Amino acid sequence: MATTTIGSVMVVGGGISGVQTALDLADSGFKVYLVEKRASIGGTMAQLDKTFPTNDCSMCIMAPKLVAAGRHHNIELITNTDLEEIDGVPGDFRVTLKQKTFRVDKSKCTGCGVCAEKCPVETSDEYNEGMRKRKAIFVMYPQAVPLVYCIDRKACIGCGVCAEECRAKAVVYDKPDEALEIRVGAIILSPGFDEFDARIKKEYGYGVYRNVVTSIEFERMLSATGPYFGVVMRPSDGEIPKKVAFIQCVGSRDEKVGNPYCSSVCCMYAIKEAIIAGEHTKGLEPHIFFMDVRAVGKEFEDYRERAEKEYGVKMHRGTRVASVEEDPVTKNLFVRYGGNDQIETEEFDLVVLSVGMRPAADAEKLSRRLDFKLNKYGFCETDIYDPLCTSRSGIFVSGSFASPKDIPTTVAEASGAAAKAGSLLSDARNTLVTVKEYPVEIDVSGQEPRVGVFVCHCGINIGGVVKVPSVVEYARTLSGVVYAEENLYTCSADTQERIKETIKKHNLNRVVVASCTPRTHEPLFQNTIRESGLNPYLFEMANIRDQCSWIHMHEEEKATKKSKDLVRMAVAKARLLEPLKKSQLPVNHSALVIGGGLSGMIAALDVASQGFDVHIVERTSRLGGNLAKLHHKEGSREPKVFMDELIDIIRGYPNITVHLDTNITDVTGFVGNFKVKITDGEVEVGAIIVATGAVGYEPTEYLYGQDDRVMTSLELEEKLSRREFKGKTVVMIQCVGSRNEKVPYCSRICCSTAMMNAIELKKQHPTSEVYVFHRDIRTYGFREDLYREAGQLGVNFIRIPEASMPQLESSEGRLKIIARDVVLNEDLVIWPDTVVLSVGVRPNKDNEELAKMLKVPLSKDRYFLEAHMKLRPVDFATEGIFLAGMAHWPKFVDEAIAQASGAAARAVTIISKDTLDTEGIIAAVNEDICDGCGICEPVCEYKAIQIVKISDSQEKLKAIVNEGLCKGCGACVAGCPSGAMEQKGYKTSQVIAMIDTALERGDS
Amino acid sequence: MNSFEPKIIGFLCNWCSYAGADLAGVSRFQYSPNIRVIRVMCSTRISPNLVLEVFKSGADGVIVGGCHIGDCHYMTGNYYTDKRMKLTKELVELAGIEPERLALEWISASEGEKFARVVTEFVDRIRHLGPIPTKNDQKLMKRLEAAAEASKLFRLRLLSGKELRLTGKGNVYGEMIEAEKMDEILDSAVNDEYDRSLILELTKNNALSVKELASEIGKSAEATLGHVATLRARNLLSICSIDGFTPRYKAIRLGGA
């Protein structure tokens, strides 16, 4: 361990994983260097069209995080950069980086894009998988962060036009590569994965037949920003395909290509792509060819079901595609596949190969340079009990660099990795972060509005269409405007200084910028005016680029007139703007963890080790939860051994208080300041983590409880661990209490548990007969190894139909199983001596009760429901409350641990702060008008409104807004029947002023 | 057949070829009456677009005359002429007009005889080739229009304008681009932009599918789709209807309602 601890962290890889880690660390008092090898952050997720199972637009949900990372005061983005070497010890590493030159000065480039427009060289666009061209000077995608153009030296012919055209003088052709040396306390690796190269599977014709595409290419084809603008077309001729085949497991579950593991995500993304393609094209017929459909995540099974029933996706279960042949004339494709025992051929217009995940191409180089181990498949090696740690201390890992996984699992891990680094460096928290100092705010109350208007040319983006000088001239005539000027780039660093000087010189008390979109640039200008002493809410923007010059490129007159209208509207609102205050709420630096199982203990430990007090409330008399029921050794040690170690550590931790035999009885307060009543008193905490777990299904079917020879998988595991099991002919029935009409979801873990049982059984009794009756085997990720091993040990797998489970009878003292074998297409009869029921997982019965107390929602399957299934997997919509473990969804030990660490990191982003800023734009009640009717109360999604008595002595009611909870959406304002509710910054009078000025005749 | 009298336009530079033509007159060298001369200060003024406009207006041949290499009154003007005419020839050929109908000749102020000979031989050549059926051939007109539009593009003008510097003096990195490489770059740019312009020309009034466009422009459907994608990214083309499973495209009319 280092003598000095460095309070900064390097995150390697700027995909969704790295971005989440960076945000969590920077929000908990650490300086972050986010290193990305490409020119922009965003990773694979930025290429996706939609995401399962909510069909959210990927870029829409991701972009705010990218922007947040790009703007964060304590995150430094270092893109186009490779890690060269490291030196040092945990807590104090010295990292050498090599930043490849952009040949563009980042401090000057405004991202206006004129250079790319003028560049005469076209080259293949990687972001669109080569299906479209981009220029030699480029940004990866329109929403790229950082929005800095970069010269592709391989394609550039050095003609010099970009430098000539760049008004900001940002192009510097001879800018050299730079070597950087940075000291950090910890390193987190999240460089992601590579797609399997489908050319290797020659039999599918990828790279030869134009209408065979990969799933990621198809993703771009679906995207509105893709090469075909969201109309799916055949690359060979631009026709819209009618019949589309998705071939699963291309480069997954395939020993021949060296990837025996399952890539975990392809089943779901193929279903998603099939659904979305069907939404794009009426009458589309998607077919999916797969062995097992691995819909194991939250609401995945539901999604699969809808794909088949509502969207008509044809599922070819249990098939493997032998080959694809092209008709040379029509370019249609013949898919030859083996289903049951015969080979069939079907013709398609387009074939999509669901390519699997490979280790990142530079994984090996990275492992050598950083001296950590890779596993046998080339992914980063981790232990099941330490899923976020590499083999080298002080270097952590998250996301698909360690194993193939989906986005929510990745995001949870990303937060988890932040917790690991936070624990290592907790002594150095807040040592390297800077807090911005601002001058005292100028009091503008009572002053007449003095509005300054800054109109941007944006190089030629605006100025090439809109007559900017005439807009400026016009602005000067508007009431309240005392100053107006034009800028080549209003956003450039020198203009910021100019704006500040101008505010002082002309005594401005409102500022309007007419330029691009407030969605990206408002925070910049708000910061600028705050630096000159104005309240940041005395600012308004007119979007005359994205919503004017860019869309009326050939209508100068009309665009100019519209710009004037937009400026007039902005000024009208600006005149009425008022300073808004963000109040600061004190934060209690401790957390409550509800549940003392695996997730609860890990979460508690990861909060406590970062220096904060933790209470664990456990309703039983012992810690450990479901972990105590597991026996199979996975990774470094037996679950029991691990559990006992963990309990010892928890017991020895001075700042963890364990409350056994204790229940939660009431929760009040809000983020930073919760008051929680428990059986024996009350605790006050800043954040709450729900880790209440789940329970196993108690079967009523298959003679369970009536015949001793019928047992659950956990009971078998127990017997095997004691070496008490003696069965010779064993039948395992999968999905008992899962994937049926009553409980439609898949319990995720039962298949792998059955494999572990079967393997152990075969090892203990090599001569025993084991039959597994299943519909799919869902051993996703590296757990596919278990399936393969069981097969090699001679376990018999019998695929049964979707809708008919095996029948069990007890006949003359013997057990008799009758089941349909779909492969042989005949009924099978087995006389087992033991029947093992692979029972599913069920949510806790009292989840409702706890959810009500916490004011958080449950999913339709009655598990706790996170704020967003994709990108906020451990948060609740209610701020300050987090989620981990099986309370969220059934999961394995390693997944629960990662998620618990994630919840801990998220909680620490709150409790590590001394105060929390409330939002500026919030609802406010005019108490003179409010009659306490209460209509607003249920309208509020954030539970920020309460109806209370005006005073203790008066019966009259009124609404009050909790500023700590209000997010400023305005729902209550629109709902208020009396007009008592107002939204600060969007007051009715302000909005009306804009409407009135919009509709008056412009005098242009 | 022999009643065909070719209409020839000659662009002559003030200092050499125009003077050469004058000398031919002074010397009374006789030549065909088919040429109409337009005087320019330097042959470098002749942009590809001017030549294509001439063909569009119904001329049967174009002669561009300049000073001999090294003699240019403006030092290097005719080097550019050389490069531009190469590009122009490509476009003329792409439009379906025999490239021999465009001649570039270096004629000095003292070469009156050469001027007369060049004109006579050129007129003979054109007479032999016959008239360009521009007036009656809609297809040809569209192709010419496309070539003319392509010739106006910033991209092609920039590339041909920079060609000499990039292959002769070096680029911004101080490297020389090999002439062959540069030719390749220009070639593919000219071909692509011509095809794209033609697609826009063809879809001005008709909604066409990728397959139809491909057969019109004589390229593979796959390559055509690539151009369609680029044109859509440039906001010049949009899907106007989908017939069953076939999207049809129309050029976007710019300039508003």
| Cα gap A494→A650, rounded to integer Å | 55
Q: Pick from A157, A209, A220 the residue to mutate for testing the B interface (most B CBs within 10 Å).
A: A157
User: Which pLDDT belongs to residue A838?
Assistant: 97
Closest-CA distance of chain B to residue A213, Å: 14
- Report chain B residues whose CB lies below 8 A from the CB of A229: 232, 239
pLDDT band at B2 (very low <50, low <70, confident <90, very high): low
Which of A705, A1004, A957, A982 minimizes the C-alpha distance to A837? A705
Q: What is the pLDDT of residues A389-408, one digit of tens each?
A: 999 999 999 999 999 999 99
Torsion sign over Cα A561, A566, A567, A568: positive
Q: How many CA atoms lie within 13 A of A215 on its CB side?
A: 30
Q: How many CA atoms lie within 13 A of A918 on its CB side?
A: 22
pLDDT band at A802 (very low <50, low <70, confident <90, very high): confident
CA–CA distances in Å: residue B257 to residues A284, A394, A565, A844, A1002: 36, 64, 20, 63, 21
Q: What is the pLDDT of residues A508-560, one digit of tens each?
A: 999 999 999 887 788 889 999 999 999 999 999 999 998 899 888 888 999 99
Least confident of A285-299, A327-341, A556-570, A690-704: A327-341
| Cα gap A820→A999, rounded to integer Å | 72
Q: How many CA atoms lie within 13 A of A662 on its CB side?
A: 24
Closest-CA distance of chain B to residue A168, Å: 18
User: Which pLDDT belongs to residue A520?
Assistant: 78
Asked whether the predicted pLDDT for residue B257 surpasses 70, the reply is: no
**Closest residue in A to B241 (Cα–Cα):** A231
Asked whether the predicted pLDDT for residue B15 surpasses 80, the reply is: yes
Q: According to DSSP H, which parts of A425-492 are helical?
A: 468-476
| Cα gap B183→B172, rounded to integer Å | 19
Cβ of residue A157 closer than 8 Å to a chain B Cβ: yes
| Cα gap A692→B17, rounded to integer Å | 94
CB contact at 8 A, A384 and A643: no
Query: Cβ contact (<8 Å) for B171 and A158?
Result: yes
Which of A683, A202, A188 minimizes the C-alpha distance to A415? A188
Q: What is the mean pLDDT of residues B191-218?
A: 95
In sequence order, what E strands does A144-263 have? Answer: 150-151, 178-184, 186-189, 193-195, 212-214, 243-250
* Tokens 């080959």 sit on residue: A323
Which of B118, B102, B122 minimizes the C-alpha distance to B24? B118
Q: Residues for chain B: how many in total?
A: 257
Q: What is the pLDDT of residues B238-252, one digit of tens each?
A: 999 998 899 999 998
Asked whether the predicted pLDDT for residue A1004 surpasses 90, the reply is: no
pLDDT band at A1 (very low <50, low <70, confident <90, very high): low
Parallel, antiparallel or unpaired: strands A673-678 and A814-821: unpaired
Q: What is the mean pLDDT of residues A871-891?
A: 95
Size of interface A-B (CB pairs under 8 A): 100
User: Which pLDDT belongs to residue A1001?
Assistant: 47
pLDDT band at B79 (very low <50, low <70, confident <90, very high): confident
A169: left (phi over 0), alpha (psi -120 to 50) or beta: left
Bridge partners, A770 (sequence order): A730
Asked whether the predicted pLDDT for residue A858 surpasses 50, the reply is: yes
Number of helices (H) and strands (E), helices first, in chain B?
9, 7
pLDDT band at A340 (very low <50, low <70, confident <90, very high): low
A777: left (phi over 0), alpha (psi -120 to 50) or beta: beta
Cβ of residue A133 closer than 8 Å to a chain B Cβ: yes
Q: And the tokens for A952? A: 């203790």
Q: And the tokens for A757? A: 């049982």
User: Which pLDDT belongs to residue A297?
Assistant: 95
CB contact at 8 A, B255 and A554: yes
Q: What is the mean pLDDT of residues A195-214?
A: 97
Cβ of residue B233 closer than 8 Å to a chain A Cβ: yes
Q: Pick from B224, B245, B246, B249 the residue to mutate for testing the A interface (most A CBs within 10 Å).
A: B245
| Cα gap A595→A614, rounded to integer Å | 12
Bridge partners, A95 (sequence order): A86, A182
| Cα gap B236→B249, rounded to integer Å | 10
| Cα gap A806→A830, rounded to integer Å | 11
- Report chain B residues whose CB lies below 8 A from the CB of A133: 226, 229-230
Cβ of residue A172 closer than 8 Å to a chain B Cβ: no
Q: And the tokens for B206? A: 């008709």
Q: What is the pLDDT of residues A233-254, one digit of tens each?
A: 999 999 999 999 999 999 999 9
pLDDT band at B254 (very low <50, low <70, confident <90, very high): low
Parallel, antiparallel or unpaired: strands A451-456 and A510-515: parallel
| Cα gap B227→A450, rounded to integer Å | 52
Percent of chain A surpassing pLDDT 70: 99
Asked whether the predicted pLDDT for residue B5 surpasses 70, the reply is: yes
Q: What is the mean pLDDT of residues B59-64?
A: 95
Measured N-to-C along each axis, helices B154-164 and B77-94 cross at an angle, to the nearest 10 degrees, of 140
A896: Cβ contacts below 8 Å, ≥ 6 apart: A598, A599, A602, A884, A885, A886
- What does the mean pLDDT of chain B come to? 91
Q: What is the pLDDT of residues B83-112, one digit of tens each?
A: 889 999 999 999 999 999 999 999 999 999
Nearest CB to A118; choose among B154, B211, B222: B154
Asked whether the predicted pLDDT for residue A941 surpasses 90, the reply is: no
Of A430-439, A565-574, A803-812, A914-923, the range with the highest mean pLDDT is A565-574
Least confident of A43-57, A626-640, A768-782, A938-952: A938-952
Query: Cβ contact (<8 Å) for A121 and B247?
Result: no
| Cα gap A134→B208, rounded to integer Å | 25
Asked whether the predicted pLDDT for residue B31 surpasses 90, the reply is: no
Rg (CA), chain B: 21
Query: Cβ contact (<8 Å) for A553 and B254?
Result: yes
Cβ of residue A177 closer than 8 Å to a chain B Cβ: no
Asked whether the predicted pLDDT for residue B177 surpasses 80, the reply is: yes
| Cα gap A383→A642, rounded to integer Å | 12
**Closest residue in B to A554 (Cα–Cα):** B255
What is the DSSP annotation of A491-558? TSHHHHHHHHHHHHHTT-SEEEEEES-HHHHHHHHHHHHHHTT--TTSEEEEE-IIIIITT-TT-HHH
Q: What is the pLDDT of residues A604-618, one digit of tens each?
A: 999 999 999 999 999
Q: What is the pLDDT of residues A5-30, one digit of tens each?
A: 999 999 999 999 999 999 999 999 99
Q: Pick from A122, A123, A133, A159 the residue to mutate for testing the B interface (most B CBs within 10 Å).
A: A159
Q: How many CA atoms lie within 13 A of B161 on its CB side?
A: 15
| Cα gap A387→A903, rounded to integer Å | 15
CB contact at 8 A, B124 and B6: no
Residue A328: strand, helix, or coil? coil
Bridge partners, A335 (sequence order): A324, A346
Which of A578, A685, A590, A686 minimizes the C-alpha distance to A916? A686
Nearest CB to A173; choose among B162, B172, B225: B172
Cβ of residue A553 closer than 8 Å to a chain B Cβ: yes
Closest-CA distance of chain A to residue B23, Å: 41
Asked whether the predicted pLDDT for residue A140 surpasses 60, the reply is: yes
User: How many CB atoms sit inside 10 A of residue A469's CB?
Assistant: 12
Q: And the tokens for A453? A: 């208007």
Closest-CA distance of chain A to residue B79, Å: 17
- What does the mean pLDDT of chain A come to? 94
Cβ of residue B110 closer than 8 Å to a chain A Cβ: no
Q: What is the pLDDT of residues A822-847, one digit of tens each?
A: 888 899 999 999 999 999 999 999 99
Backbone angles phi, psi at A820, to 5 degrees: -90, 130
* Tokens 């066409």 sit on residue: B208
Rg (CA), chain A: 31
Q: What is the DSSP letter of A298?
A: T
- Which amino acid, residue A331? K
Residue that wins the pLDDT comparison between A414 and A226: A414
Q: What is the mean pLDDT of residues A439-465?
A: 93
Asked whether the predicted pLDDT for residue B255 surpasses 90, the reply is: no
